[in-house]
A = this chain, B = another copy of it.
Amino acid sequence: MKIGTTHLFVPGPTTVPEVVRRAMNVPTEDHRAPDFPDFVLELLGDLTRVLRLREGRVLLYPGSGTGAWEAAISNCLSRGDRVLMARHGHFSTLWADMAQRLGLDVVAHDVEWGEGVPVEAFEQALRADPSIRAVFVTHNETATGVTSDVRAVRRAMDAAGSDALLFVDGVSSIASIEFRQDDWGVDVAVAGSQKGFMLPAGLAILGVSEKALAAAERTTTERCYFAFRDMIAANDVGYFPYTPPTSLLHGLRASLDRLLDEGMDEVAARHHRLGEGVRQGVKAWGLELCALSPRWYSDTVTAVRVPAGVDGAAVCRIAYHRYRTSFGGGLGKVAGKVFRIGHLGDVNEVSCLSALAAAEMALLDAGVPLEAGAGVAAAQQYYRQALVAEEESAAEPWSRARLAAVR
């Protein structure tokens, strides 16, 4: 029997906010009803604001983020096209595998897990090989807690004179940390509903630039379910080519309302604050991050290296069974060597402290020598200062009211 909340700190799927959960609890509706397009067209319009995409389209498929990967490839590239990728974690490796299986000619750069996309190496590769048709970037490698610099990749592409398309896996970054599709020159952005959008899994989300849309008209890969053209034709009149998951669409409506109400800059600032507190806690434990340099630190997930001789999987198992707390385990090359704390979506400071408190107990039980409470204390210190500073600088009425109330 399970007593009390299971504390969920996997790096996605994330906790669904109450307001979103309520919004999804709708009866079945007729997705061909005359007034359905009003709802759909506004929804798609607002979604572009989260991606910061003015020129292009957003597309929603019933599917997972993996489906969105496939939609990106099968629409915008043809079998045999050469693409440049980095493998620096479990998910970037999986995407490269998919690209190969779907018939692309993958030029893969293997990078140490814990580092990000090698921008300079990419620039050299692009200079050396003008036949590269697309560059793939895993914006936030969920397995290692590493965020790569998408804007720098675009600059490198420009510097190399490449006209390749830029594909970005933003599954665990979009709607959480800064993402600017237009400004960064991203041609195809891929996301899923179950991370920053704070919904259950089930929606594959894509942002597609005009350039990528044009490319999709010329490619030869067979596709049907994920075909951009069919989706766009139906979307143009506010419908879908097949039955959409309407409750997820209503959930997305509530999620977009909340994200846009908070403001995308504020969403990113909050994730930075929460993530930094967790990192302060890990530092106080005396443990290392999987991310090898602060420039790679992810604000949505922190992968913590466990000391030699300790099984990272045991930390997760103890946390789950004894303390009702779910952390992410190590995947692929770092299986058993790390455990991961997700801090994205509908989380706040006290949530993150409970993650640290549970982790401390599980680490101690698994044999890691650390001082109980030390990580919590370090994060508390950081959060107290950060929140006071935020209140003092706040222009928003609600924050000023909050300040007044606590003074």
Given contacts A5-B348, A62-B64, A376-B357, contact A384 B405 (CB under 8 A): no
Task: Please tell me if A120 contacts chain B, counting CB pairs below 8 Å.
Answer: no
Say whether B406 contacts A3, CB under 8 Å.
Answer: no
Among A161-207, those with CB < 8 Å from B are: 192, 194, 200-202, 204
Contact partners of A325 in chain B: CB under 8 A: 350
Residue of B nearest to A327 (CB): B30
Knowing that A4-B346, A5-B27, A320-B405 are A-B contacts, what are 11 other residue pairs whose CB atoms are under 8 Å apart, sorted by A's residue number? A4-B351, A5-B348, A13-B28, A34-B320, A34-B405, A63-B67, A64-B243, A322-B388, A323-B349, A350-B358, A357-B380
* Chain B neighbourhood of A381, CB < 8 A: 372
- Verify if A241 is at the interface (C-beta below 8 Å from B): yes
Asked if residues A321 and B402 are in contact (CB atoms below 8 Å), the reply is yes
Binding site for B on A (CB under 8 A): 1, 3-8, 10, 12-18, 21-23, 25-34, 61-67, 69-70, 79, 97-98, 101-103, 192, 194, 200-202, 204, 222-225, 227, 241-248, 258, 261-262, 270, 314, 317-318, 320-326, 328-329, 346-351, 353-354, 357-358, 360-361, 364-365, 371-374, 376-378, 380-381, 383-384, 387-388, 391, 398, 402, 405-406
By the criterion CB–CB under 8 Å, are B383 and A62 in contact? Answer: no
A31 and B13 form a contact (CB under 8 A):
yes
In whole Å, how far is A397's beta carbon from the nearest beta carbon of chain B?
A: 11
Contacts of A1 in B (CB 8 A): 258, 261-262, 398
With A62-B63, A242-B64, A350-B324 known as contacts, the answer to whether A262 contacts B380 (CB < 8 A) is no
26 interchain pairs, CB-CB under 8 A: A3-B347, A3-B348, A5-B15, A7-B350, A7-B351, A8-B30, A13-B28, A13-B29, A14-B28, A15-B27, A16-B28, A22-B23, A22-B26, A25-B25, A32-B329, A33-B320, A64-B225, A101-B222, A192-B243, A321-B405, A321-B406, A322-B388, A324-B349, A354-B354, A372-B380, A373-B380
Contact A201–B244 (Cβ < 8 Å):
yes
Contact of A373 (CB < 8 Å), options: B22, B376, B383, B387: B376
A322 adjacent to B402 (CB under 8 Å): yes
How many copies of this protein are present in the complex?
4
A386 to B364, CA, bound (A): 14
* Inter-subunit contact B317/A406 (CB<8 Å): yes
Q: Do B326 and A33 have beta carbons less than 8 Å apart?
A: yes
How far, in whole Å, are A6 and B34 apart by their CA atoms in the complex?
13
Query: Given A64-B242, A243-B65, A270-B3, is A384 in contact with B361 using a C-beta cutoff of 8 Å?
Result: yes
Contact between A34 and B350 (Cβ–Cβ < 8 Å)?
Answer: no
Q: Which of B13, B33, B358 is close to A243, meaning CB atoms less than 8 Å apart?
A: B13
Return the 6 tightest CB-CB contacts between A and B, nearest first.
Answer: A373-B377, A4-B348, A373-B373, A354-B354, A30-B326, A202-B245
Give the distance to chain B from A391, nearest Cβ to Cβ, in Å: 7
Q: Which residue of B lies closest to A348 (CB)?
A: B4
Interface contact B16-A322, CB-CB below 8 Å: no
CA distance A97 to B241 in the complex (A): 13
Nearest CB on B from A292, distance (A): 25
Q: Which residues of B contact A200 (CB under 8 A)?
A: 28, 245-248
